[in-house]
């Protein structure tokens, strides 16, 4: 086991007994929404996973230790400290461990730590991707590279709508990452169900998706699989409203000269303001929806692996 890794006793027991486990990121707690809503949401996601018959493992870095599974007290600590905590991508991991500091895990670092711990499934809101204007800025999320190299299945509502979705799909194709649409052949656009872009495969049951993952694992193919799960219809936002808010937020981002890891938190917060909080409500509901699906896939995968 990695010398920097601490696996929560409940998670460790579940993995040893072959029970389904679902990883969760911690950036959504520290940078995704204000306290105490962030803590309430994080605990609700864990509750949903338990109700579906799986064990939640919220991933984070605390005091230089890689944590696979947090206690409610640790989640509360993360929620209160909020944006004071470093948003940790792959390049930050060694430095945070060496300095004994805290880090909120992104999709990238959650995948890395989940894989170290032996966790196969990860539920999140949306992945990072190719940013708009990347042909000149080269701003491409490390999440895509991690999906190409780390064998963890990621369940999300698509790439974040603030990104260039077409180029994100092209990047994933180039790196051999299968993109699955749950119940749809169309890539969900995070806040809404439609993007007009096509994914690689439509699959209609958790069992079907679990079989794909098992086949990829058995074949010894490197890299993960991206499962895109459309936001529930009742929480889907009007395309015109959300796109107008995103365009305005991106213009303000450019005017302020914000770039790099600060881009996504700024854009999501600004879109929330411009939509009167509707985008945050949608964000929370899609995370809940993804946690349910990831739990069902995890259960099906465990059954196949017996």
Pairwise CA distance, residues 286 & 266, whole Å: 20
User: Is-catalytic flag, 160?
Assistant: yes
Q: What's phi and psi for 228, nearest 5 deg?
A: -105, 125
- Which residues, listed in sequence order, are joined to residue 152 by a DSSP beta bridge? none
User: Is-catalytic flag, 80?
Assistant: no
All CATH 3.40.1790.10 domain ranges of the chain, comma separated, are: 1-119, 121-306
> Going residue by residue through the chain (306 aa), what tens digit of pLDDT does each one get?
589 999 999 999 999 999 999 999 999 999 888 899 999 999 999 999 999 999 999 999 999 999 999 999 999 999 999 999 999 999 999 999 999 999 999 999 999 999 999 999 999 999 999 987 777 778 899 999 999 999 999 999 998 777 899 999 999 999 999 999 999 999 999 888 989 999 999 999 999 999 999 999 999 999 999 999 999 999 988 878 878 888 898 889 888 888 776 777 787 788 778 877 677 788 899 999 999 999 999 999 999 988
User: Whose structure tokens read 């459309």?
Assistant: 230
Provide CB contacts within 8 A for 100, sequence distance 6+. 63, 64
CATH of domain 121-306: 3.40.1790.10
Q: Which among 12, 67, 120, 160 is annotated as catalytic? A: 160
CATH of domain 1-119: 3.40.1790.10
Provide CB contacts within 8 A for 300, sequence distance 6+. 206, 207, 209, 210, 211
Q: pTM for the complete prediction?
A: 0.93
Do residues 76 and 41 lie in contact, with contact meaning Cβ atoms separated by under 8 Å?
Answer: no
């Amino acid at each position: 086991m990695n010398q920097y890794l601490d696996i929560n006793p409940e998670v460790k027991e579940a993995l040893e007994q072959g029970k389904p486990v679902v990883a969760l990121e911690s950036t959504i707690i520290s940078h995704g929404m204000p306290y105490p809503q962030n803590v309430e949401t994080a605990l609700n996601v864990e509750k949903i996973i338990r109700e579906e018959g799986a064990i939640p493992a919220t991933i984070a870095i605390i005091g230089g230790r890689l944590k696979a599974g947090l206690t409610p007290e640790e989640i509360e600590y993360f929620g209160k400290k909020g944006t004071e905590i470093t948003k940790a991508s792959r390049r930050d991991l060694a430095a945070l461990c060496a300095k004994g500091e805290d880090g909120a895990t992104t999709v990238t670092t959650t995948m890395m730590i989940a894989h170290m711990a032996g966790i196969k499934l990860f539920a999140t809101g949306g992945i990072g991707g190719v940013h708009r204007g990347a042909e000149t800025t080269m701003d491409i999320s490390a999440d895509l590279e991690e999906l190409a190299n780390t064998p963890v299945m990621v369940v999300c509502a698509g790439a974040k709508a603030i990104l260039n979705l077409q180029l994100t799909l092209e990047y994933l194709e180039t790196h051999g990452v299968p993109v699955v649409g749950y119940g749809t052949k169309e890539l969900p656009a995070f806040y809404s169900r439609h993007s007009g872009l096509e994914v690689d495969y439509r699959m209609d049951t958790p069992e079907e998706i679990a079989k794909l993952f098992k086949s990829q694992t058995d074949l010894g193919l490197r890299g993960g699989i991206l499962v895109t799960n459309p936001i529930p219809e009742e929480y889907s936002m009007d395309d015109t409203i959300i796109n107008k808010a995103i365009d305005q937020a991106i213009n303000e981002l450019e005017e302020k000269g914000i770039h790099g890891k600060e881009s996504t938190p700024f854009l999501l917060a600004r879109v929330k303001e411009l939509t009167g909080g509707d985008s945050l409500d949608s964000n929370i509901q899609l995370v809940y929806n993804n946690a349910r699906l990831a739990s069902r896939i995890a259960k099906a995968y465990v059954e196949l692996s017996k």
